[in-house]
Amino acid sequence: MNKPSSSSSSPAAPWLALAWNHPVHAWVSVPVRLVVGVTFLIAAWPKLMDPEGFAWSIAMYQMMTPKYVHLLAVILPMVELVTAITFIAGFRVRGAAVVMCGMLVMFIVALLYAFIHELEMTSCGCFTPAGAKALSEHRETVGTGLLWRDVWMLFACGYVWLFDTGRWGVDGWLRSRKRSTKDA
């Protein structure tokens, strides 16, 4: 692989350049963005509405000091929401993909931690905040199905980061608008 340079692109093997810049990526990335973006939207909303319940979900992983759990419970759902909207809309789509990759890596690490330590919890807290009252309900250890779901989404977001130029989205519209202004 070539070294990063100050120019916007660097020479690559013809087959690699062709594969990397193939127009099919613009088409493939649209359904990928929709599926992952909507998943994040659905996940963000209940947590945004019940930050205290989500704080309990975070606390159940026992990975961070309780002092900062509220801060994370307040900020993380909004990051999910904003990123999901920009991801679906195709605005700064590669940046949104990087944020999603970061969050998914964090989720995977947390789930792995819970899996390895056999932590018992009412739910992973991915889509519904656990809440304090849920502690009295049935608990079970985290299954590997959740891990595979996040790994799949990590690959999807990585694909968007690497290959989506944002042609079908706000980025593409802004570019074409800028180009037409320049041409005029």
Partner 1 sequence: MSDNETTENHAAPHKAGIPWRELVVAWRDAGLLVAVAAVAALAFNALRPAGLPLLRYAPFDLLGPCPELADEIPRLAPEKLKIGDPNVVVVDVRLPWDHLEGRLPGSWFMPMYETAPLDPAVVARLKAQKPGTWIVLVGTAGTATAERALTALSGQGLRGLFVLEGGLEAWRKLGRPVDSTTVPVLVRESGNPAARLYVDARDDAAFADGHRDGAVHLPFDDLLPPEPEILDRLRQVQDRELVVYAGEPVPDRPGGHRPVHPAYGVAAELVARGFPRVSILAQPYVAPSSASDPPASPEVTPSGDGTPVSSGVTHE
Q: Of residues 36, 107, 129, 171, which one binds partner 1 by CB under 8 A?
A: 171
Nearer to partner 1 among residue 36 and residue 99 (C-beta): 99
User: Which residues, other chains included, contact 54 with Cβ-Cβ below 8 Å and sequence gap of 6+?
Assistant: 47, 73, 76, 77, 125, 129, 130
Give yes or no for a contact between 109 and 151, defined as CB atoms under 8 angstroms apart.
no
Positions 134 through 153 that interact with partner 1 (CB under 8 A) = 135-136, 139
User: Which residues, other chains included, contact 171 with Cβ-Cβ below 8 Å and sequence gap of 6+?
Assistant: 90, 91, 92, 93, 165
Nearer to partner 1 among residue 105 and residue 148 (C-beta): 105
Q: Of residues 29, 32, 77, 142, which one binds partner 1 by CB under 8 A?
A: 77
d(CA 19, CA 54): 42
d(CA 44, CA 6): 37
Positions 50 through 69 that interact with partner 1 (CB under 8 A) = 51-52, 55-56, 59-60, 62, 66-69
Q: How far is the CB of 151 from partner 1 (least distance, A)?
A: 20
For residue 121, what are the β-bridge partners?
Answer: 140
Q: Which residues bind partner 1 (CB under 8 A)?
A: 1-2, 4-12, 14, 16-18, 20-23, 26, 48, 51-52, 55-56, 59-60, 62, 66-71, 73-75, 77-79, 81-83, 86, 92, 94-99, 102, 131-133, 135-136, 139, 161-162, 165-167, 171, 175, 178-179
